[in-house]
């Protein structure tokens, strides 16, 4: 009995040891498996993190690339450095590449070209048709939407880049104006652009021009036009503004740091299709002005009356010019904001005290029309010539335009009537 008990006890002890061993091995096995699992998970997490970083890198590089195309070099570098977690050799190389590009920029020293347009002819059959109020005037002084669309890529091919006047000149607090170095890549040259009047009188709406600007559902400045059936429809190709905005979106290299052009507003024509004397229309116009400014456009005084005689002609009087400017200050400035650019109606160059009046009123830049001259600093002002790229110039000055801007034969709209 005792022996058997002893034997059993021994057996039990063995069993316990075995059991303990078994438990220990299972535990260590379990721990091993768990740690392996954890390691796998860690590896997996690490991979996931790296994958996410790589995606972020590509996103930032894409964004930086777009910025570089639009001449925002430092901004592109800032974007690449915006997340220290993801900086690696690839990012560092990209930063170096952009820094090298910045070193290559040269201050521009060539001619400064300022081109201008009026509202575009969208339907030549109306503008030049039997019902048109002035088919010959339109043929001379207007550009068709088709021509304008053809010009942009050709201007870009020639190296032109839209800039702001403030990219070319500094004006200090006393009104002294000096030329400013504009650093551009080799082969690029600045282009200033302005659009005169930007008003849509009733007769023009029936003559194949846009009827007003407005903001579409994508928060873009767009144009409304009465189509050939008489319905008012949105068109992205009926005015300079949506055409340029869309072109720059596709070709950021055509705009220096987002610059677009200048709208020369004329009081008596309404502001972009809105009456400055009707409160509700003013509210709408202000929203469009705001959006245009946000997207690179600027505004200029193109006179209130846009009338000759005592206002803007050889026989202009100081009294007439004061009257016009006061009306502009009263009705237009509250809508478009202050500007230091005056675009002379009919391109007239006022002389003596009449010219001085505009400088005294705070207009540093006086824009006239002249196809050959270059801007000139005169006292506290710049007399800046502009060239009209319209039917008249494409016919009468074809060689010069082809030499300086684009091949006229590739642009000219043959729906125009024969030129006299």
Q: Which is nearer to Zn ion, 108 or 138 (CB)?
A: 138
Q: Which is nearer to Zn ion, 197 or 255 (CB)?
A: 197
Shortest approach of Zn ion to residue 84 CB, angstroms? 54
Q: Which is nearer to Zn ion, 199 or 296 (CB)?
A: 199
Q: Which is nearer to Zn ion, 196 or 390 (CB)?
A: 196
Q: In Å, what is the CA distance from 7 to each residue of 2, 17, 21, 266, 274?
A: 9, 15, 21, 118, 112
Kindly tell me the burial class for residue 215, based on how many C-beta atoms sit within 10 Å of its own C-beta (0-12, 13-18, 19 or more).
Answer: middle
Q: Which is nearer to Zn ion, 67 or 265 (CB)?
A: 265
Which range, of 81-89, 155-163, 189-197, 245-253, touches Zn ion by CB under 5 A?
189-197
Judge contact between 340 and 363, C-beta under 8 A: yes
Question: Cβ of 15: how many Cβ atoms within 10 Å?
Answer: 10
The rounded distance, in Å, linking the Cα atoms of 219 and 288 is 10
Shortest approach of Zn ion to residue 196 CB, angstroms? 4
Q: Which is nearer to Zn ion, 255 or 266 (CB)?
A: 266
| 324 is a contact residue toward Zn ion (CB under 5 A) | no
Q: Which is nearer to Zn ion, 71 or 200 (CB)?
A: 200
Shortest approach of Zn ion to residue 304 CB, angstroms? 12
Query: Between residue 257 and residue 316, which ones bind Zn ion under the rule CB under 5 A?
Result: none
Question: Residue 81: phi, psi to the nearest 5?
Answer: -95, 5
Question: Residue 304: phi, psi to the nearest 5?
Answer: -80, -50
Q: Which is nearer to Zn ion, 113 or 196 (CB)?
A: 196
Give the pair of three-digit tokens for residue 369: 């029309």
- Any idea which residue has 């009707």 for tokens? 278
Q: Which is nearer to Zn ion, 253 or 348 (CB)?
A: 348
Site string for Zn ion, 142-181 (x = CB under 5 A): ----------------------------------------
Nearest residue to Zn ion, using CB? 196
- Any idea which residue has 């200029």 for tokens? 300
Shortest approach of Zn ion to residue 307 CB, angstroms? 11
Beta strands in 186-326 (DSSP E): 189-197, 210-215, 221-226, 232-235, 262-265, 298-301
The rounded distance, in Å, linking the Cα atoms of 254 and 163 is 9
Give the pair of three-digit tokens for residue 129: 């048709």
Which range, of 9-17, 22-30, 130-138, 188-196, touches Zn ion by CB under 5 A?
188-196
Shortest approach of Zn ion to residue 97 CB, angstroms? 46
Question: Residue 179: phi, psi to the nearest 5?
Answer: -70, 150
- Any idea which residue has 């009449």 for tokens? 354
Shortest approach of Zn ion to residue 343 CB, angstroms? 7
Q: Which of 147, 167, 196, 397 binds Zn ion (CB under 5 A)?
A: 196
Which range, of 7-15, 47-55, 192-200, 328-336, touches Zn ion by CB under 5 A?
192-200
Q: Which is nearer to Zn ion, 88 or 203 (CB)?
A: 203
Query: Between residue 207 and residue 266, which ones bind Zn ion under the rule CB under 5 A?
Result: none
Give the pair of three-digit tokens for residue 141: 């002084």
206 in the Ramachandran plot: left (φ > 0), alpha (ψ -120 to 50) or beta? alpha
Judge contact between 364 and 381, C-beta under 8 A: yes
Shortest approach of Zn ion to residue 344 CB, angstroms? 9
Please give the distance of CA 297 from its chain centroid, rounded to a whole number. Answer: 7
DSSP character at residue 350: -
Shortest approach of Zn ion to residue 80 CB, angstroms? 45
DSSP 8-28: HHHHHHHHHHHHHHHHHHHHH
Shortest approach of Zn ion to residue 229 CB, angstroms? 30
Q: Which is nearer to Zn ion, 266 or 340 (CB)?
A: 266
The rounded distance, in Å, linking the Cα atoms of 298 and 260 is 8
# binding residues, Zn ion (CB under 5 A): 2
Shortest approach of Zn ion to residue 118 CB, angstroms? 7
Shortest approach of Zn ion to residue 280 CB, angstroms? 26
Which range, of 197-205, 209-217, 236-244, 278-286, touches Zn ion by CB under 5 A?
197-205
| Residues at the interface with Zn ion (CB under 5 A) | 196-197
């Amino acid at each position: 009995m005792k022996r058997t008990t002893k034997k059993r006890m021994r057996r039990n002890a063995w069993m316990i040891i075995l059991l303990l061993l078994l438990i220990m091995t299972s535990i260590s096995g379990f721990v091993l498996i768990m740690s392996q699992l954890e390691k796998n998970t860690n590896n997996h997490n690490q991979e996931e993190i790296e994958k996410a970083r790589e995606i972020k890198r590509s996103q930032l590089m894409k964004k930086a690339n777009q910025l570089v195309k639009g001449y925002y070099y430092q901004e592109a570098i800032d974007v690449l450095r915006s997340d220290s977690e993801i900086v690696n050799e690839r990012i560092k190389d990209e930063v170096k590449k952009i820094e090298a590009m910045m070193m290559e920029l040269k201050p521009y020293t060539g001619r400064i070209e300022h081109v201008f347009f009026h509202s575009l002819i969208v339907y030549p059959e109306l503008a030049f048709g039997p019902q048109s109020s002035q088919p010959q005037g339109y043929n001379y002084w207007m550009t068709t939407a088709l021509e304008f669309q053809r010009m942009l890529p050709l201007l870009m091919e020639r190296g032109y880049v839209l800039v702001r006047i403030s990219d070319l000149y500094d004006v200090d607090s006393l009104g002294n104006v000096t030329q400013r170095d504009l650093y551009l890549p080799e082969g690029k040259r600045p282009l200033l652009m302005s659009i005169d009047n930007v008003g849509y009188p009733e007769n023009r709406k029936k003559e194949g021009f846009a009827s007003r600007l407005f903001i579409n559902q994508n928060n873009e400045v767009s144009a409304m036009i009465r189509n050939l059936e008489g319905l008012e429809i949105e068109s992205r190709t009926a005015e300079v503004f949506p055409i340029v905005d869309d072109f720059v979106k596709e070709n950021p290299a055509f705009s220096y740091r987002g610059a677009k052009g200048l709208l020369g507003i004329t009081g008596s024509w309404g502001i972009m299709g809105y009456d400055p004397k009707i409160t509700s229309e003013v509210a709408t116009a202000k929203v469009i002005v705001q959006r245009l400014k946000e997207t690179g456009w600027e505004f200029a005084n193109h006179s209130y009356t846009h009338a000759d005689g005592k206002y803007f002609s050889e026989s202009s009087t100081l009294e007439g010019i004061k009257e016009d400017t006061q009306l502009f200050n009263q009705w237009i400035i509250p809508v478009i904001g202050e500007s230091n650019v005056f675009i002379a109606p009919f391109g007239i160059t006022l002389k003596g005290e009449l010219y001085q009046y505009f400088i005294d009123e705070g207009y540093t830049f006086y824009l006239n029309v002249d196809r050959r001259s270059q801007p000139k600093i005169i006292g506290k002002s710049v007399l800046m010539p502009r060239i009209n790229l319209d039917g008249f110039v494409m016919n009468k000055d074809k060689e010069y335009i082809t030499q300086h801007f684009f091949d006229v034969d590739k642009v000219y709209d043959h729906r125009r009537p024969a030129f006299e």
